Chain A
């Protein structure tokens, strides 16, 4: 089924004076969906959904009528883009941490919690105001508490987040990045996300997204990426909306210990039809490790094969085209089955990997250690490390040390913006050259601040989260990457633009940190005020006494009887007693 251009023309030809021919822009939009299934060596299975809507229009062009006719592109997002002059928007909600050493690199990486980064158009005058409103609007659209994003956790990275679409990348004043590591993802976030799809969750691959199975997994990440791209066939700018959902099902909990996976076991659904609005709807299964069928058995068999270079590796995929009726067979239902036959060998080690932890003891100081591994046997390459630390952990940049192979490794570029208390977080960006086959350790000391009692969360002893570090690198590739962007490429291999053949772009997120801060006693505000004011008053009282009183000889006052007698004598006019 091909996309159809709906050229709707309404001609108001009559003798009226204001005869404007109302011609809405022809909706040249296109929708593609695909599902990639990659069996992992540990017996787990990685499923990645990608839904792409391409629309040849311009939200940001002035002078033209505002875009009002939405077909495949969701109206809520379109209105957000035009109102806030957004050039690029990337939002992700993740539950769980991606285990690079066990699962390899993900197609689209994301940190635990919520992450939002936005490039605004260069015509925007008040970026901070737009950012604040945008986070609140997105918070409503995705039913997530993104309204907690404010100036205390927003940073402007200078080098780590270049635009992934078209755009001038020089002025990072228009970039805002924020992450909420504490954010939890649940059905409430999945439902509005599914609503943005053209077919909703009624047809196509989206029927598989049932929350009771999706959230019963080791890793779940849903994201929305909007960017302008250049389409070769149209020679114009068009907007691409990608919705991705990455999920890793655990071999023991979801798989019940058996090394056998099927669509029904993973999603408790099978596919019955492709989305009628989609121009292409495919399922890819990674069979690179199974060339002769000795590792696992895949059924139903398919003659279609595809090869793609993804993440520096040439992979082979079996392709199931859901737009063809024969994929569904006689039962009109497509259920993929993967049964393991032999023992899987060792996985290829990912070339770039990072870890982070807090060292030290007590609630006064600590140290953040970030460890980056370069597993390439002979090539060294630079990585850009970006750290955004909240203001209540005061970093001491003079204690920053970078060591590789137990020798000092000075970063060639350091951009450091210190935090302002209660105003903005620390931002540290460094370009570090990683020697081949080595481990690099970045250490920085910090001090923990005592906050005002109202600034603690209701569960202060849980700790405070520090967002993941972001490590961006161009990793040398063993296989030549293709720099041509064609429409026929599978979506998962075309997300990141490839500028050169010899390397591919990788972004690695480290663990978020949980740090305890010293807490005051929350039951004591009135007591503290009283006691401190007492001490101040004691000081005041002593000084007041000494300043206003003078020394006098203490004449004891006569006893009561004598005083009474004197009083009576005074009345009588008789001389007083002594």
Chain B
């Protein structure tokens, strides 16, 4: 286990180092699919240059990073490449922890094999299968071209992903304090991880054997504790940011920017062209609709998946990556890293071939159509927009397919794998 992992790490570092030193680095850091106005490295350097000139970085509309990022990069701007190479390895910690998940599962296996119908044994994962999951997760993340591109472009998305991965790690480890603090940090960086509060809370409740019952005081006791840790850390971090530059300018510049979407630079998301072609009268309404769209899946999903918080975390991260205002391929890479953890769902996936073809084709077509629009002048913005639509559609299909597969496996675990109709023939399962 350690040897393949080390080999993987070496390969990943080598690829990134080679790309950093080549002329492709310059090209990649300008690509709109990889960087967005929120996390481009060019803008970080610009913000630091403005600070050197004596002008607040938030006085213009170029810099949209949080003050703690300024603080971090003020000291490490010359070693930026190292910082960005190290951060994906935090996601590795997550995979290592998934390895310990299997220990948890092993005990569960023994218990559950008695509970489930006999024919479901093949649905349960054997410890042998689960042994290779951490390696697969690490491979999926480190060798994912999206991650490599994001890292070489020095997009701060990599750092955000690292924080989220650390948060998941601490949650799965069971440390509520660290988990709250890291979630506050992730929310501080970009507002959307706020929705991860619910799955983290559900995980802790499950772990502490507190039933999710609104009438029980133990539930409220723990919820309030966790919320207090979270809100408290958020307040402390925001206060620290205020004292760094001495003004609240960063709030409209960072959070106001994320919510009101004033910059319509093309990216792989749905927002830019929609709001470029929006009638002025309806702009506020549709901004609200699109932003609520990210947040409102939390409650229904939490209710449905309250016994499966880990899968809920995956779903939430996927929804954030698809529907956020300035997505990049780095965000896509984060939830894709989780997919090997659900490799046992493969038999229930319905559209996996279609989805992978769509995603591969779109990834190939993005740079082509961008070039045709911006440089060759022979296509127009509609071409790029169409591929954006298709890419997001493919992602939605992927996520909903995994959700379907997960629910179906749960159904089979409780009702048996080979179902029969009333007349004894093989049954088909439908959603009704």
Contact = CB atoms under 8 A, between A and B. Distances in A.
Contacts of B60: 418-420, 426
B85 interface: no
A525 B46 contact: no
Given A525-B279, A532-B273, A552-B432, A416 B53 contact: yes
Nearest to B63: A418
Contacts of B112: none
**Which secondary structure dominates chain B's binding surface?**
helix
A449 B55 CA distance: 22
A362 B55 CA distance: 31
B421 A553 contact: yes
Given A361-B375, A555-B421, A525 B293 contact: no
Given A532-B273, A549-B431, 12 more contacts: A362-B375, A363-B374, A398-B48, A450-B381, A452-B275, A452-B278, A520-B276, A531-B389, A536-B290, A543-B403, A547-B304, A553-B419
A550 interface: yes
A307 interface: no
A397 B322 contact: no
B2 interface: no
A553 to B, nearest CB: 4
B354 interface: no
A450 B270 contact: no
B379 to A, nearest CB: 11
Interface in A427-475: 449-454
B107 to A, nearest CB: 28
A547 B300 CA distance: 7
Contacts of B219: none
A551 B30 contact: no
B421 A418 contact: no
Interface in B154-176: none
Q: Which are the 9 A-B pairs with shortest beta-carbon distances? A: A418-B60, A398-B49, A542-B400, A549-B431, A525-B277, A362-B375, A539-B396, A528-B277, A551-B411
Contact of A554 (B48, B262, B427): B427
A528 B61 contact: no
Interface string A516-533: 001111001100110110
A421 interface: yes
Contacts of A549: 431-432
B407 interface: yes
Nearest to A453: B277
Contacts of A568: none
B49 to A, nearest CB: 4
A420 B431 contact: no
B431 A450 contact: no
A524 B400 CA distance: 29
9 contacts: A396-B62, A397-B50, A420-B61, A421-B263, A520-B277, A525-B277, A529-B274, A546-B407, A554-B428
Nearest to B274: A532
B277 A529 contact: yes
B396 A398 contact: no
Nearest to B55: A416
A535 interface: yes
A414 B52 CA distance: 11
Contacts of B404: 546
B61 A394 contact: yes
A540 B293 CA distance: 9
A518 B266 CA distance: 10
Nearest to A397: B49
A467 B432 CA distance: 65
Contacts of A551: 407-408, 411, 429-432
A542 B421 CA distance: 26
B393 interface: yes
**Which secondary structure dominates chain A's binding surface?**
mixed
B192 interface: no
Contacts of A397: 46, 49-50, 53
B397 to A, nearest CB: 8
B187 interface: no
Contacts of B300: 543, 547
A53 B428 CA distance: 97
Given A362-B374, A535-B392, A418 B277 contact: no
Contact of B278 (A396, A450, A529, A552): A529
A315 interface: no
Interface in A490-538: 518-521, 524-525, 528-529, 531-532, 535-536, 538
B430 A417 contact: no
Interface residues of A, number: 52
Question: Which has the most chain B C-beta neighbours within 10 Å: A414, A451, A529?
Answer: A529
A137 to B, nearest CB: 28
Nearest to B300: A547
A215 interface: no
Nearest to A363: B374
Contacts of B178: none
Interface in A360-398: 361-365, 391, 394, 396-398
B279 to A, nearest CB: 7
A452 B276 contact: yes
B59 A417 contact: yes
A258 interface: no
Contacts of B204: none
Given A531-B389, A532-B273, A546-B431, A518 B373 contact: yes
B411 A525 contact: no
A389 to B, nearest CB: 12
A535 B389 contact: yes
Contact of B61 (A421, A454, A542): A421
A545 interface: yes
A528 B59 contact: no
Contact of B382 (A394, A419, A521, A546): A521
Contacts of A83: none
Interface string B262-291: 111110001011111111100000000010
Contacts of A536: 270, 290, 293, 323
Given A450-B276, A539-B396, A553-B427, A418 B50 contact: yes
Contact of B53 (A396, A414, A524, A538): A414
Nearest to B390: A535
Given A365-B30, A551-B431, A535 B263 contact: no
B265 A449 contact: yes
Nearest to A522: B277
B9 interface: no
B342 interface: no
A396 B264 CA distance: 18
A394 B62 contact: yes
B262 to A, nearest CB: 5
Nearest to B31: A364
Contact of B301 (A416, A449, A547): A547
A518 B280 contact: no
A396 B322 contact: no
B55 A417 contact: yes
B52 to A, nearest CB: 9
Contact of B323 (A426, A451, A531, A539): A539
A77 B208 CA distance: 81
A538 B390 CA distance: 12
A349 B50 CA distance: 39
A450 B60 CA distance: 17
A396 B53 CA distance: 13
A422 B60 CA distance: 11
Interface in B41-74: 42, 45-46, 48-50, 53, 55, 59-62
Contacts of A528: 273-274, 276-277, 385
B346 interface: no
A554 B421 CA distance: 8
B218 interface: no
A24 to B, nearest CB: 51
Contacts of A450: 264-266, 272, 276, 381
A553 B323 CA distance: 34
Contacts of A554: 421, 427-430
Contacts of B45: 398
A550 to B, nearest CB: 7
